[in-house]
Structure 1
Amino acid sequence: MASNPENPAYTAANDGAGASVRQAENAYFNRELSWLAFNHRVLEEANNTAYPLLERLRFLSISGSNLDEFMMIRVAGLAGQVRSGVTEISIDGRTPRQQLAAINARLHELEAKQQQALRTLRPLLEAEGIHIAGEDRISEAAEGWLRQYFLDHIMPVITPQALDPAHPFPFVANGGIGALFNLTRESDGSKLLEMVLIPAALPRFIRIPAEVLGEEAIYVAIERLVCRYAKLIFPGFSILGDGVFRVLRDSDIEIEEEAEDLVRLFRSAIQRRRRGQVITLEIDESFDPEAEILLRDKLGLSQAFVTTTEGMLGISGLAEVVEEDRPELKFVPYNPRYPERVLEHDGDAFAAIGGKDIIIHHPYESFEVVVDFLRQAAADPKVVSIKQALYRAGSQPTVINALIAAAEAGKSVTAVVELKARFDEEQNLKWAGELERAGVQVIYGFIDMKTHAKISMVVRNEDGGIRTYCHFGTGNYHPATAKIYTDLSYFTADPSLGRDAARLFNFITGYIEPQELEQIAISPLSLYERIVEDIDCEIELARQGRPATIWAKVNSITDPGIIDKLYEASQAGVEIMLVVRGICCLRPGVPGLSDNITVKSIIGRFLEHSRIYAFGNGEPMPNNRAKVYISSADLMERNLRRRVETLVPITNPTVHDQVLDQVLLANLIDTQQSWLLDGETGDYHRVESDGDGFNCHEYFMTNPSLSGRGEALKESGVPKLTLRKGTS
């Protein structure tokens, strides 16, 4: 039996040498601090000299965007608990207040490293003719252009607002940037405080055109431009001081279980989110003291983080500079392959899938095959119905258009649209409306659970009768993220998987819990139990003296029950190798606790996102008898208990080899992008790699997949991977 996941302090399972009691704070890492360690690894890629310069700047921007979301969701949640007097203990034995104190210390360290990374990158960019907020390089010609740009494009949009008892304090939106000015009227010496908020519709950086400066690119932050030309905003005033600030607010959405209309609830909740409690106030180092006192008072900064930034506010805004058209300063563009297996069937996805299961490895293989699967279903007269789960479809309407075309062609189309996909709620509401207008049956799923499963189901009326084709994914139906996220798309016409898919959709749309499932496991009904059962099998094999191995690749591990079970397996002698991109509350390699567990994280050109679970089943890994699954679920409480997720077994031999011997193994043996977790300190250390190190992203970019390569590539083969070396 797994330990009680609701109780963070627990008694370990008997490992043959007697039971040992472990204190919670010694058995787990804190979830929030582990996430900050992940974002530190992302930030370190900005210092990776092996990357092109603008890609390093991109990683710096991503670290800023990540941190913003962390503050708006995770820190906001903890602050709300403190305000409400909640004293619930975290997995590592800390109260919400203690967690906030620990986060605060790490935040200051991380933000300082972000500014240091920017200071390092600036002169390197300047050497390439790209200048960020380079006011020291503004020539007379550039000055004239900037002034006119300000008058023509910024002055008509901004609104100076006096701060006095006669005027209500302006509302500062989430993510809003503004400037405060301490003024003296020249005519009578009276003092005045004024605020200028930067409209979100304006670009964060103004680029001086090439015709003004030649080949050099100079970017000036818009807030600096407002301060630079403040005299144009406030004629007749002397400016005694100024300062720039930025605000982040609580952006989580709470769901009321009694809500009768989920669409109406989310429309109002999105509006409330924009006015959430202030969580972070960033001010620049030269902020006027008098203006700062007023700002702190008016924003009501209970439980808020206030930081003084010695550099640039809103590091995430650097994403605009990354778009500079300098291909030599970016990764060489990569064009994903279209699966040869499908091309050999003249592009007919159903013929290719009907002949044999196939798995597509994104972004190395094109997401277009997923879209084509739906497009062909829409146009195919044999197709009777389409059922599709949509978690994040993005702003590009390719998948949505395919579903609309199917409905307009007379197919029965059902779309499960998840309104609770964080920060995609508005976009999903928009798509839901368009789908409904086209005649698609739109279902919003459960009020208290997110539908996170990635599944598509197409039913065809063929000569031999009804046949079901399924797509199970580890990632979203999102054309943009499919270019940078590593995910797996599994296509199959296996009848038992088709029946399971139908039962899953009935569960989501009609709340009909399946009495039995033939192959897949789903949360919150059976996924956790299936994983625990397979871990128990490896424990028993180890106790019998047989080979016992667990490999897994996930984004996060936080669930105490699963962690406990992995500790038990380690103590029984099971060899456990985990690739965990982000949060890991498990402590690996601790004597007497987790001696046989190693944890690594891969941070590189692409964002590792696929979830894979593999169990050795009594033979050394990798082997053909191993139990292999792909999943939409991470090992987190929310995925295992509060979401609808899938765990899909891979039994087709070719697909099994691809997932285990190619995808998972390549991640395990990567040395060039890998970090190892120290189970004692919680620190990550970059794996030392010589010139012959192995890079799993480069391997997948240069080698075809096993199940999708087709006859044309059979002779060329794929370099065989082994656990000890990159290739052999």
Structure 2
Amino acid sequence: MPKSKKITPTIDLSDTQYYINRELSWLEFNTRVLHEACDERTPLLERLKFLAIFSSNLDEFFMVRVAALKQQVEAKVNLLTPDGRTPQKQLDDIRLLLNPLVTRHNEQFKKVLQPLLVNHGIYILDYIELNVQQRNYLDEYFKEQIFPVLTPLAVDPSHPFPYISNLSLNLAVVVKNPEKGEEFFARVKVPKVLPRFIPLPSELRNEDNGKVVHWVGVPLEQAIAHNLEYLFPGMKIIECHPFRITRDADLELEEDEADDLLLAIEQELRKRRMGGTPVRLEIQSQTPEALRSRLLQDLELTENDIYQVDDLLGLRDLMYFMSLQLPELKDPPRQSVVPSRLQRLREPNIDPNLLEMEEGKDFFSVIREKDLLVHHPYQSFTGTVEKFITHAAWDANVLAIKMTLYRTSGDSPIVNALIAAAENGKQVSVLVELKARFDEENNIYWARRLEKVGVHVVYGLVGLKTHSKIVLVVRREKDRIRRYVHIGTGNYNPKTARLYTDLGLLSCREELGADLTDVFNFLTGYSRQKTYREILVAPVNMRDRFLGLINREIENAQNGFSGRIVAKMNSLVDPQIITTLYNASRAGVKIDLIIRGICCLRPGLKDISENIRIMSIIGRFLEHSRLFYFYNNSQEEIYIGSADWMRRNLDRRVEVITPIKDPDIAKDLQAILGIMLADNRHAWDLQSDGSYIQRRPGNDCPEANSQKTLMSMALSSASIT
């Protein structure tokens, strides 16, 4: 009989010293993104891509998180975070951490990557670097292509300061009337409808010592700035400086008061297009003090809201250069495969004039044989999940399809399959989550298209976002009805499925079909189901079930048995889960956490979290899957699903987590966790102080790139599609 573990003295685990601030942890995540742009092992154009991602991430951070903190300060809300910070303290600390990060980001582009791009025949020039022929071309291009789009806006007593739209790049221009000597201020918006970078034609690309030149051009705003005399004829251009505005972009929706959720969100979207209050002003460091002060005054911002750089603003537009056909400067082409069990399937009969179908198994017979795990992007989304829904849409025996849509692509084959299913006479019900942040407009469009063909569309539940990734297909087979399910970790979006790592389970187990039926009744009707056979559902039972799984490991460890938890997710924020994990560590449970983004738990604290190790993987693909392993005294349990360990996921969203019952799939998932834990190429270890240290292979240790390993494993197990 194992000896019971000695219980250590009580410690107040709610003490602020045991928590990392959520916002600062996110900034650490974006720092790791920036590191990929600085890492010489990353291909050159991929480094530009990571600079763009860093900038895009930061835009959203200000639009949502910083905007919310500023609102709290203005409303004099001083609730402390678990780490003991007020909203104002968080804003102060964000600025303290972010200023050097923004400088590093800009210098990486200007001082490191731009020279490297030149070495590979890519010239992002300043206008003053152009020769006469190149300037003449751009002057003509300006007059023909740019000038007609521009609208200069004067600012004087009869022209109030114009509205500056969210994330817009602008030129602040000072002009002078040469006759009266008066100076005036004007704003020129750099139009988003034109490319940010203007390429010169091939005949104007000067050869550089015989080196091949692939691209030469200038930023759009410089072409405008050097042709301002066309916008202000008769005036003398005194100075011109770019600036960029970020506004609060989160929807303010009173769902309880909205008679029609779709119309209410459309109204809020119109407000967002205009944008909320300004939260950030980006300028170049050489902007004169007088102009800087004027912008601050007119935008009602303070010095603490300014972020300045020495070169280009809005580096998210560097993503443009990923379109260059230079494969030697990018990651190797992504190769997705179709699982061997899904190869040689017969295609659905979409032609009513054909009586016979191709030979081969149908999709549903494959699932009846055994549960199937799919792992994107290593395995094809098109050849697995998309094919499952398409086959269901055209299968004569399918009676109904029910699905949740949180985000999907603008040309979604998934939605087209659902439309086809409705047109084929099937009962189709879809919950379209209109409140999916920054995808609301896209989802409204698809919701209306679906409704037009008779799909029963539900817009979500009041007070809850539906974040679950679930499909239920009801099929008549001989003398019975069988239900097929897909439960996943990622959105039904074929575009992001090429970039995000996600897992999905395809099954026809009766318990899962019955559980998803109950979930959809909860989503579309008045069901208030409190218990489920197998799945974990937020906000119904998921929090309690997760706490129970962790506490079971604690109990086993206290009784002298081994306790072990491995969990992979995007974020760990929930204080109750963190406290329970601390208790597990103190009881002797060994815990490994793979958390891509925000993590508020401090690992490695003496007598608190000595048994907890936390790592983050930032690589070619965005780690998005959620995977949970519990040792359970050798009766191992493993789960996948849509939820992170955050308050919003556990309490304010509809989420679904499924247990994995198939032993072979369970082993495959454990292998995936093992491969990720061994990563020494893209892995970072979280330290007790909230900082991260990147792993590096030792002298006698080979490089272990988990994403590369998983891609190779997928390729070796099936043919390339």
TM-score by length of 1: 0.92
Between 1:308-317 and 1:357-366, the stretch displaced more is 308-317
Map 1:450-461 to 2 at 5 A.
450-461=465-476
SS of the aligned residue for 1:703 comes to helix
Residues of 1 paired with 2:514 and 2:13: CA distance?
Answer: 44
Matched, 1:404 2:419: yes
Count of matched residue pairs: 690
Aligned to 1:296: 296
Q: 1: CA distance between counterparts of 2:81 and 2:409?
A: 34
Alignment of 1:17-28 (within 5 A): 17-22=8-13, 24-28=15-19
- Distance of 1:345 and 1:406 partners within structure 2: 20
**Within the alignment, does 1:438 sit opposite 2:453 as a pair?**
yes
Please give the alpha-carbon distance, in whole angstroms, between the structure 2 residues aligned to 1:302 and 1:644.
40
* Contact kept? 1:396, 1:480, Cα under 8 Å: no
Question: For 1:319, what is the secondary structure of its paired residue?
Answer: helix
Mapping of 1:183-194 within 5 angstroms?
A: 183-194=175-186
Q: Secondary structure at the match of 1:281?
A: strand
C-alpha distance in 2 between matches for 1:128 and 1:205: 18
C-alpha displacement of 1:397: 1.8
Q: What amino acid is aligned across from residue 613 of structure 1 in structure 2?
A: F
Match of 2:132 among 107, 130, 140: 140
Distance 1:470 1:272, change over 3 A: same
- Contact map agreement 2:376 2:501 (CA 8 A) in 1: yes
What secondary structure sits across from 2:404 in the alignment? strand
Between 113-122 and 252-261, report the one with greater CA deviation. Answer: 252-261
Q: 2:650 aligns with which of 640, 646, 659?
A: 640
What do the CA deviations read for 1:12-49 (whole angstroms, capped 9, x no partner)?
A: xx971221225632110000000000000000000111
CA 1:235–1:286: 2 relative to 1, 3 Å: farther
Aligned equivalent of 2:694 = 686
Pairing partner for 1:83 from 54, 74, 86 = 74
State the distance in 1 between where 2:13 and 2:364 align: 54
* CA-CA distance at 1:291 after TM superposition: 2.8
Of 564, 573, 583, which aligns to 1:558?
573
Matched residues in 2 for 1:577 and 1:102: separation? 29
Partner Cα separation in structure 1 for residue 149 and residue 419 of structure 2: 38
**1:172 paired to 2:164:** yes
Moved more, 303-312 or 254-263: 303-312
Deviation at 1:384, TM superposition (A): 0.1
The secondary structure found in structure 1 opposite 2:490 is coil
Compute the RMSD of aligned alpha carbons: 1.7
The match for 1:324 is 324
Calculate the TM-score normalised by the size of structure 2.
0.93
1:351 counterpart residue number:
365
Distance 1:304 1:503 in 2: 51
1:57 aligns with 2:48: yes
| Contact 2:337 2:715 (C-alpha < 8 Å) held by counterparts | no
8 A contact 1:242–1:288 mirrored in 2: no
Cα distance, 1:233 vs. partner?
1.9
Measure how far apart 1:515 and its partner are.
3.8
How do 1:558-637 and structure 2 match up within 5 A? 558-619=573-634, 625-637=635-647
- Give the partner amino acid of 1:328: E
Contact 1:193 1:291 in 2 (8 A): no
| Larger mean Cα displacement after TM superposition, 132-141 or 444-453 | 132-141
Q: 2:142 is paired with a residue of what secondary structure? A: helix
What does the per-residue CA deviation read over 1:495-534, in whole Å, with 9 as the maximum and x for residues that have no partner?
1100000000111111412142110010001001111101
Deviations 1:426-483 (A, max 9, x none): 0000000100011111001212110000001100001141000000010000111000
What secondary structure sits across from 2:81 in the alignment? coil
SS in 1 for 2:149: coil
Deviation at 1:188, TM superposition (A): 3.0
Name which of 510, 515, 519 aligns with 1:500. Answer: 515
Residue 712 of structure 2 is aligned to residue 702 of structure 1: yes
8 Å contact kept, 1:182–1:288: no
Matches within 5 A, 1:454-533: 454-533=469-548
Which residue does 1:220 correspond to in 2? 218
Paired residues of 2:174 and 2:186 also in contact (CA < 8 A): yes
Judge conservation of contact 1:555–1:634 (CA < 8 Å) in 2. Answer: yes
Residues 398 and 424 of structure 1: CA distance in aligned 2, closer, same or farther (over 3 Å): same
Give distance in 1, aligned partners of 2:14 and 2:506. Answer: 45
Measured in 2, the distance between the counterparts of 1:384 and 1:163 equals 63
2:245 corresponds to 1:247: yes
2:638–2:659: 8 Å Cα contact kept in structure 1?
A: yes
Unaligned segments of structure 1, at least 5 residues? 1-13, 620-624, 714-728
Query: Does the CA-based 8 Å contact 2:127-2:222 persist in structure 1?
Result: no
Instruction: Check the 8 A contact 2:95/2:304 in 1, yes or no.
Output: no
Contact 2:681/2:703 (8 A) holds in 1? yes
Match of 1:723 in 2: none
- 1:366 is aligned to 380
1:99 and 2:86 correspond? no
1:72 aligned residue: 63
CA distance in 1, matches of 2:14, 2:372: 46
What are structure 2's unaligned runs of at least 5 residues?
207-212, 348-361
How many Å apart are 1:705 and its aligned residue?
8.5
Preserved CA contact (<8 Å) 2:530 2:540: no
Determine whether 1:122 maps to 2:124. Answer: no
- Supply the AA of the counterpart residue of 2:173: F
SS of the counterpart of 1:61? Answer: helix
- Inter-partner Cα distance in structure 1 for 2:314 and 2:214: 24
The CA distance in 2 between the partners of 1:606 and 1:320, in whole Å, is 19
1:113 aligns with 2:104: yes
Counterpart for residue 663 of structure 1: 672
1:586 Cα offset (Å): 0.2
Residue 534 to residue 332, structure 1, CA distance change in 2 (3 Å):
same
The CA deviation string for residues 346-373 of structure 1, in whole angstroms up to 9 with x for no partner, is 4632121111100110000001121111
Q: Do structure 1's residue 677 and structure 2's residue 686 form an aligned pair?
A: yes
- Name the CA distance, whole Å, in 2 between partners of 1:403 and 1:468: 17
Give the match for residue 268 of structure 1. 267
SS in 1 for 2:714: coil
Q: 1:538 to 1:705 in 2, by over 3 A?
A: farther
- The one-letter code sitting in structure 2 at the alignment partner of 1:231 is E
| 1:517-554, Cα deviation, whole Å (9 max, x unpaired) | 11001000100111110111101111111111000001
Name the CA shift for 1:402/1:641 in 2 (closer, same or farther; >3 Å). Answer: same
- Does the 8 Å contact 1:588/1:677 carry over to 2? yes
CA distance in 2, matches of 1:294, 1:585: 39
Counterpart secondary structure, 2:368: helix
2:153 is matched by which residue type in structure 1? Answer: Q
SS of alignment partner, residue 492 of structure 2:
coil
d(CA) in 1 for partners of 2:13, 2:617: 30
The answer to whether structure 1 residue 386 and structure 2 residue 401 are counterparts is yes
